[in-house]
Chains A and B, each alone.
Chain A
Amino acid sequence: MRFPYSETVLEHFRHPRNVGKIENADGKAIEGSPACGDMVSVYINVDPKTNTISDVKFESYGCASNIATGSIITELAKGKTLDEAKKITWKEASEALGGLPKIKAHCSVLAVEGLRSAVENYEERHGLVKDRKPTTVETVRRRLKKVMNPMAGLDLVRTNLVRDIDIKNGTVRVVIDLPPDHQFASAIKEEITEKIEPLWDVKEVVVEFTE
């Protein structure tokens, strides 16, 4: 009998590493929300002399792949510089876990995002970020690269599902090349909204599907 998960995934799921909260963490982030599925919190402490991650912890409200990715990402991040940590990809995390089922990409990508956001949070709080730029089609496209196409295990942009993006007076309109009654339509719509809405100058996100 085989689970659709690797031994490593199950091992991290059963015995997750670095679980918990860091009180007064130097950087922290929450990705996802209980309203739309899984959720991960990532906390980091940074050694300011070397700009490396000295401690990292996570909490997960999620399924097995979410918990396992949270666990592995903390192992991968510890001792890395901030720039290195930000560059850790879902693919690297997935490989370190011996592979994840494609359909689970969307649950597991949150931990990767969480680490990146925790680093960005540290950078913002320590004056390491440049000025806020207005949202462009390119910004939206970059964010859509973080939304998974569950059929392929790759993001929407790389699987050519993004038909159109336009931005007018704070309203971002995204057209996805799937029928509105597609199996994944509502899951994808939720994730897109979740990724684009936090942009500082975005007031509304409209996701449309093709017939």
Chain B
Amino acid sequence: MLNRPVYLDNAAATRLDERILEAMRPYFFDIYAVATSEFGYSQGIEAREALDGAREALAATLGAAPEEFIFTSGSTESSNVALKGVALALGKKKGKHVIVSKIEDFPVLNSARALEKQGFQVTYLDVDSDGFVDLDKLRESITNETILVSIQHANQEIGTIQDIKNIGLICREKGVLFHTDATHTFTRVPLDVKKIPVDLITVSAHTIHGPKGTGGLYIRKGTSLAKWVDGGFQEFDLRAGLENIPGAVGFAKAVELVTTQETEQIQLVRDHVIDRILAEIPDTVLNGHRWKRLPQNANISFHFIEGESITLHLDMHGFAVSTGSACFSRSLEGSHVIFGIGGDHERAHGSIRFTFGRYNTIEDTNALVNTLAEVVRELRSISPLGKEKKE
């Protein structure tokens, strides 16, 4: 029996795990005070303890000290704070040059564009056909004016995992801060700040079955970062606003529930899907590197057909996936990631992203591939493209 609908868009959002909801529940109904009221009444102390406990657990996951981790409203805010906070702190003192990769997710990319409008200079680094940044090009791009390099840990669409250790070493050698968006790798791909020289890390709960609207930013001790959200003195006076204690507790619980064994299981399911599709459906191509990729990500282009048509047909059969097609986006532009790896419009147009999570099974994905094969055959039968070969 299939669990329908089969949700395979876990990079966008995940189903909340009941155990996380249970962990959060007391902080809605019993201990709903704010942590800053710790000197006023005992419920405030409990709130403070819960927040500190969650922070300690999350920081420890990254090998960091608790005071190096602040909570935010999610990865969008974290990346905005990282880029704009460093720019505000160092723009006048050190320089106005920032480096990002071309295939960053929109929080980093559009923060960089916003900085450009404020007079900063931004270098958008090219990537190769698998999505990797060229380390020599990075080294050459760093100038005396450079204040920050922001290169993602893994890509949101094609899953390519960057060599952030060597990127970090280059930044360290050149005396430049390094931010990485680890939204999709957090807890699934190891990242320890004692081993990898990174100064700022964006993380989020929504990709690991935690609550939406909860994220975090690791800030290495001594990093120049201006306060971006003004108000009270919360989060070490770096991010004002009422603490989201249920969110923080849920985030910590989400991290606790992720195990290496589970990640390996997810990767097994993912590999099964990639292998079956490439073997059974003709004219398909995997986007991103086959092995150096997120364990939960598959991204495949289906030639001669368009992605939104594929996703709609799949939805009618109970499968939820996402596409890099221009027709799917509000901007009517194809995926900047597929273009970034040298793909043409057709490759972006027919690209489908499958992202797996805790609740996907091999049975579900077998059903997916069977349905997909039918849908692709049907859409190709009405497409004017790709017929010459067969005739």
Give the chain A neighbours of B227 by CB distance below 8 A: none
Chain A residues lying within 8 Å of B327, measured Cβ to Cβ, are 37-38, 62-63, 65-66, 104, 107
Contact between B384 and A37, CB atoms less than 8 A apart: no
* B332 interface neighbour in A14, A40, A106, A181, Cβ under 8 Å: A106
Query: Given A37-B349, A61-B383, A66 and B306 touching (CB < 8 A)?
Result: yes
Q: Chain A residues near B316 (CB, 8 Å)?
A: 14
| 9-residue interface stretch from A89-97, A183-191, A194-202 | A183-191
- Interchain pairs with CB closer than 8 A, number: 75
Within 8 Å CB of B384, what residues of A?
A: 21, 30, 39-41, 59-61
**B331's contact among A14, A59, A66, A184, by CB below 8 Å, is which?**
A184
A residues 87-116 in Cβ contact with B at 8 Å: 103-104, 106-107
Chain B residues 335-385 with CB under 8 Å of chain A are 344-346, 349, 381-385
Say if the beta carbon of A205 comes within 8 Å of chain B.
no
Bitwise interface map of B from 170 to 196 toward A, beta carbon under 8 Å scored 1, else 0: 000000000000000000000000000
Residues of B within 8 A of A20 (CB): 382
A65 to chain B, nearest CB (A): 8
Query: Measured between alpha carbons, how far is A104 from B312 in the docked complex, in Å?
Result: 15
- B21-75 residues with Cβ-Cβ distance < 8 A to A are none
A56 CB, nearest partner CB in chain B, Å: 14
Complex-state Cα separation, A145 to B357, whole angstroms: 47
Taking CB atoms and an 8 Å cut-off, the chain B residues in 297-346 that contact chain A are: 304-309, 312-313, 316, 325-328, 330-333, 344-346
A1-22 contact mask (Cβ, 8 Å, vs B): 1 or 0: 0010000000001101001110
B251 to chain A, nearest CB (A): 29
Chain A neighbourhood of B309, CB < 8 A:
13, 62-64, 67
| Chain A residues closer than 8 Å to B307, beta-carbon distance | 63
Does A36 have its Cβ within 8 Å of any Cβ on chain B?
Answer: yes
- Kindly state whether residue A34 has any CB partner on chain B within 8 Å: yes
Q: Is B331 within 8 A of A63, CB to CB?
A: no
- Decide yes or no whether A150 CB sits under 8 A from chain B: yes
Query: Of B308, B332, B345, B382, which is within 8 A of A16 by CB?
Result: B382
Most buried by A among B307, B326, B327, B332: B332
Q: Which residues of B contact A150 (CB under 8 A)?
A: 332
* A128 interface hit (Cβ, 8 Å): no
Q: Is the CB of B331 within 8 A of A183?
A: yes
Cβ-closest chain A residue relative to B305: A61
**Interface size in chain A (residues, C-beta < 8 A):** 35
Q: Are A61 and B331 in contact (CB under 8 A)?
A: no
Q: For the complex, what is the distance from the CA of A100 to the CA of B323, rounded to whole Å? A: 21
Among A37, A40, A63, the residue within 8 A (CB) of B345 is A37
| Residues in chain B near residue A187, CB distance under 8 A | 326, 331-333
Which residues in B have their C-beta under 8 angstroms from that of A181? 113
Which residues of chain A are within 8 angstroms of B325 by Cβ–Cβ distance? 63
| A26 smallest CB distance to B (angstroms) | 18
Interface residue ranges of A122-170 to B (CB < 8 Å): 150
Contact of B349 among A19, A34, A40, A65 (CB under 8 A): A34
A104: chain B residues within 8 A (beta carbon): 327
B28 CB to nearest chain A CB (Å): 28
Q: Which residues of chain A come closer than 8 Å to B333, judged between CB atoms? A: 186-187
Report A-chain residues with C-beta under 8 Å of the C-beta of B313: 14
Q: How far is the CB of A187 from chain B (nearest CB, A)?
A: 4
CA distance A35 to B316 in the complex (A): 28
Check if A63 sits within 8 Å of B308, measured CB to CB.
yes
Task: Provide the bound-state CA to CA distance between A14 and B312, in Å.
Answer: 9
Q: How far, in whole Å, are A83 and B307 apart by their CA atoms in the complex?
A: 35
Q: Least Cβ distance of A156 to chain B in Å?
A: 14
Asked if B344 and A35 sit within 8 Å, CB to CB, the answer is yes
B382–A64 contact, CB under 8 A? no
Interface mask (A42-68 → B, CB under 8 Å = 1, otherwise 0): 000000000000000001111111110
Chain B residues positioned under 8 Å from A38 (CB to CB): 306, 327
What is the bound-complex CA distance between A128 and B383, given in angstroms?
Answer: 30
Residues of A within 8 A of B345 (CB): 34-37
A-B CB contact pairs (8 Å), 9 listed: A3-B312, A21-B384, A30-B384, A34-B349, A40-B384, A62-B327, A63-B325, A183-B330, A184-B331
In the A-B complex, list the 6 residue pairs whose CB atoms are closest, starting with the nearest.
A63-B327, A59-B384, A63-B308, A41-B384, A187-B332, A34-B346
Further contacts, 12 of them, CB under 8 A, given A60-B382, A60-B384, A104-B327: A13-B309, A14-B313, A19-B382, A40-B384, A41-B384, A60-B383, A63-B306, A64-B309, A66-B306, A67-B382, A107-B327, A187-B333
Q: Which residues of B contact A (CB under 8 A)?
A: 113, 304-309, 312-313, 316, 325-328, 330-333, 344-346, 349, 381-385
Interface residues of A (CB under 8 A from B): 3, 13-14, 16, 19-21, 30, 34-41, 59-67, 103-104, 106-107, 150, 181, 183-184, 186-187
